[in-house]
């Protein structure tokens, strides 16, 4: 009696670990950080009057032109930096939610830069509201970093990347193989042409 040869089914891919609560909460804090950065930009624009008073209190001999220059030198970087920071918060929230291990490291680097910026801002002229929101943003970043590097988050970042991450590299490898194959055909054609000439 004929028995069909047993065939093995397709290899099952290991299921990816879902983000643990620590990562989920860290991502939520990052979204909160982005919202706070927007609020910080608004506060920087609204409290220009307080900033002027703080500058005059430290430099009472400033002329109107010097006051305007000092005000712009403080306000413009705050606004531009706040807009950039919003994008970085959202980027890190997305990447960490996907389990990119590099995102944890980059997040820690950004937090270190934020810490240094906060320390520097303490020695500069600033409105009180701007300083308060800066400290709150720093605390949000600290909470996110603690959660990302906690024991519960480790296994989520140690698993292999999802198949979607490998698509780009696989496509590029295929393009390289096609180019190599095309190159070999051209080389063979040139060799045949030379043989016919000889």
Instruction: Specify the pLDDT at position 151.
Output: 92
* 70/186: higher pLDDT: 70
Confidence (pLDDT) at 164: 56
Mean pLDDT of the chain: 76
Predicted local distance difference test score (pLDDT) of residue 20: 92
The lowest-confidence range among 59-68, 168-177, 188-197 is 188-197
- Domain positions in the chain are 21-158, 166-198
pLDDT bracket for residue 189 (50, 70, 90)? very low
Q: How far is CA 152 from CA 22, 48, 53, 75, 115, in A?
A: 7, 44, 48, 40, 25
């Amino acid at each position: 009696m004929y028995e069909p040869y047993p065939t093995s089914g397709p290899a099952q891919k290991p299921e990816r670990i879902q983000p643990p609560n620590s990562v989920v909460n860290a991502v939520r804090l990052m979204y909160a950080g982005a919202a706070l950065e927007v609020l910080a930009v608004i506060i920087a624009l609204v409290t220009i009057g307080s900033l002027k008073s703080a500058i005059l209190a430290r430099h009472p001999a400033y002329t109107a032109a010097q006051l305007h220059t000092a005000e712009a030198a403080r306000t413009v970087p705050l606004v531009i930096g706040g807009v950039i920071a919003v994008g970085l918060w959202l980027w890190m929230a997305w990447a960490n939610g996907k389990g990119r291990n590099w995102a944890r490291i980059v997040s820690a680097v950004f937090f270190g830069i934020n810490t240094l910026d906060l320390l520097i801002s303490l020695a500069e002229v600033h409105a009180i509201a701007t300083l308060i929101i800066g400290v709150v943003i720093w605390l949000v970043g600290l909470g996110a970093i603690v959660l990302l590097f906690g024991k519960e988050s480790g296994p989520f970042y140690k698993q292999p990347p999802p198949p979607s991450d490998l698509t780009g590299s696989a496509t590029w490898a295929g393009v390289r193989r096609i180019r190599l194959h095309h190159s070999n055909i051209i080389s063979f054609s040139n060799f045949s042409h030379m043989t016919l000439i000889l």
